[in-house]
Amino acid sequence: MKKLLIITGPQGAGNHMWSKIFALHPEVYGWQELLDTYWIGHDQEPFASYWKQTVLLNEFDWSKSNYYVASISIPYMDNGTATIPNFKEFLEELSKLNIVVQVAVLGRDQNVLKMQQARVREQISLDTALVELSKLVDVHYLSFELLQLYREKYLDQLSRTLSFPIGSTDSRIGNILADDTNAKYFTQSITHHWVDDLAKQSSRKRT
């Protein structure tokens, strides 16, 4: 049985980070080149050309492994043009080849996503991504925040849920997660909120 995991989500949801993590396990055919650098354009992702010409999946060498990972964002940049992935045709071609497909949707704080998209792409595409993601069925959700907080324990849970090998004990995970890219979007601007008083009052020792 051959299995392909598609990791997808809004622009800025962490495709590169998750691609690195899934490429760590020796049984997985993933974006190995990304492990040697911080960032590479998605046009160099192993399945990039197949999203544009799905029929080429018939020519792919499926003897490389039993587990594969394809990474694509919504939208993705095709020669400078924001493009919606053709999930329907991609999934249909894989079905013809008897490849078992799982779709993992990436999640990240929506406020961070909007700020990230506005900063990098100068246009917020989150609503477009959410519409496209709503068309997909039987998906799994991967959380940027849970990964940063629980790390290998979260990865172990995902491996069991997905029935997919994940190198949760690989020493390189520490380096991949060392830079919490959410941090630059948060500042301590709130010093007091009225709910704080309620929380303090309820936690006091009663006499």
pLDDT digits (tens, 9 = 90+) for 52-86: 999 999 999 999 999 999 999 999 988 888 899 99
CA dist 16 to 2, 40, 135, 183, Å? 23, 8, 23, 17
Mean pLDDT of 110-117: 94
Whichever domain contains 6, its CATH number is: 3.40.50
Mean pLDDT of 162-184: 93
pLDDT of residue 118: 93
CA dist 107 to 10, 60, 116, 177, Å? 8, 30, 14, 16
Q: Which stretch of 17-26, 120-129, 134-143, 196-205 has the lowest confidence by average pLDDT?
A: 196-205
Kindly state whether residue 207 falls inside one of the protein's structural domains.
no
Query: Please, where are the H alpha helices in 87-170?
Result: 87-96, 110-120, 126-133, 144-150, 152-162
pLDDT at 198 over 60: no
CA dist 116 to 11, 17, 119, 120, 128, Å? 8, 15, 5, 6, 15
Question: What is the reported pTM?
Answer: 0.91
Mean pLDDT computed over every residue of the chain: 92
Q: Which domain holds residue 194?
A: 2-202
Number of structural domains in the chain:
1
